[in-house]
Amino acid sequence: MPAKQPLVFPAQRRILTALGERLRLARLRRKLTIDIACQRAGISRMTLFRAEAGSSAIALGTLLRILSVLGLENDLDALARDDKVGRLLQDQALPERRRRGVRARPKSPEPTERAP
């Protein structure tokens, strides 16, 4: 882990804090103690405390293990699934298809009958 964590903007901090609070509430609703949740996820108590506090230092894999213990791992699959803005930007950047002018094809000569 780097000695100094990267800067987290206030809006991102609020999102992480709210996520940590939702993790804590989900654990409490399932009546899981901190020790049991940590044992099932294979993490330390401090890591779970940090996750529930909304720390930006929690690895995505660790978050996935916590979500799995809570039965919420499929929620992670929904992240960024429908990228509406990205698709709009992609569609705007596509070059327009140029159609060539339709050329008149020369008419093929009528088949003539051959004498046997």
Is 5 in a helix, a strand, or coil?
A: coil
Question: Which one-letter DSSP state was computed for residue 105?
Answer: P
pLDDT higher than 60, residue 116: no
pLDDT in tens, 50-72: 999 999 999 999 999 999 999 99
Mean pLDDT taken over the chain: 87
Residue 102 lies in a domain: no
Q: Is the pLDDT of residue 97 over 80?
A: no
| Residue 66 covered by a domain | yes
What letter represents residue 71's amino acid?
Answer: G
DSSP code of 3?
S
* Residue-level pLDDT at 105: 65
pTM: 0.70
How long a stretch of residues is the chain?
A: 116
Structure tokens at 6: 């990267």
Check which CATH number belongs to the domain holding 20 and give it: 1.10.260.40
**Longest alpha-carbon distance in the chain:** 100
User: CA–CA separation, 47 vs 64, rounded Å?
Assistant: 13
